[in-house]
Each structure stands twice: as C-alpha cells, then as structure tokens.
Amino acid sequence: MSLKTLRRSRGWSQADLAQICDLSERTIQRIESGRTASLEAVKALAASFDMTAEEIQAHLATRARSEPPGRQSSWQAWLWHALAFSIYASLVTALVHRFDSDMRIAVGVGLLGLGALLVHLAFNLHRQERRAQQTL
C-alpha cells in the first residue's frame, strides 16, 4: 500500500496529513510523487500513522515500485495531445488562408495530422497494456 493509499484510507487530505505530521503540504506532495523522504519526514509520518519508520519506508518503497515518478496520467497525456492537435490545425488553417489555397487541402492535411495523432495514441495504449501485462 502506498503512502497515498494509506493517507486516503484514513480519510486525510494532503493538507490534513501535513498538519498532523508538522510537515509542509509540498513535502507530502513530493513524497507521494516518489521523491526520497528525509529521515525526519519518515519519522514524522511514522508517528502520524502509529507505525515504525521501517513500515513507512516499506510504504514509500511500494509507491516507487508501483508507480514510476514523473509519468503523466492518461488524461494529462490526452490533454497535451489535444493541445498539440489544436495548434497543428490552427497552423494549417492559417497557412491555407495566407496563401489562398483551396480549403480541401487544409481539411486533407488536418485529417492526416489527426490520423497520425490517433496512431500515436493507439501505439502508446498498446505499449501501456504490454507493460501492465509484464508486471503481472
């Protein structure tokens, strides 16, 4: 069980845990995201959860194994892809208007870009599923 899961099982927010531990909320966020906790932070967390420092270290290690730090969640990845496609579509439209080209060209180029985006997303989904199967 990760620290985040442990915290949520008690019904605590990050702010609640920070106040109980006498740590900053940012420190709690950093620890939950996979960064190394200081010895003082581990001791404070252990006291907050009525556990030993070794038990808290085990919970922190669980987080490190189960969720690699720095990975985007799926909605963040979709958001970045949607933003990239919007910029791409705007650029194509601006170029078509600038050079007085046929709008069918813009639609065709836009559909090519959308197709490339969908292939990219499908490949990433396939890669994530393979990783999930390999960890089982």
Q: What is the pLDDT of residues 51-105, one digit of tens each?
A: 998 988 888 887 545 445 455 566 777 788 888 888 888 888 888 888 887 778 7
Of 23-32, 39-48, 70-79, least confident by mean pLDDT is 70-79
- What average pLDDT does this structure show over 7-21? 91
pLDDT of residue 136: 56
Of 23-27, 44-48, 60-64, 122-126, least confident by mean pLDDT is 60-64
pLDDT of residue 130: 82
Instruction: Kindly report the number of other CB atoms within 10 A of residue 131's CB atom.
Output: 10
Q: What is the pLDDT of residues 105-136, one digit of tens each?
A: 778 888 888 888 888 888 888 887 887 777 65
pLDDT of residue 17: 92
CA 99, distance to chain mean position in Å, is 40
Assigned superfamily of 3-66: lambda repressor-like DNA-binding domains (1.10.260.40)
CB 28 within 8 A of CB 12: no
pTM score above 0.75: no
What does the angle CA 61 – CA 62 – CA 67 come to, to the nearest 5 degrees? 105
Kindly list the domain boundaries of the chain, sorted by start residue: 3-66, 74-135
Residue 126 token pair: 């396939």
Alpha-carbon span 93 to 114, nearest angstrom: 14
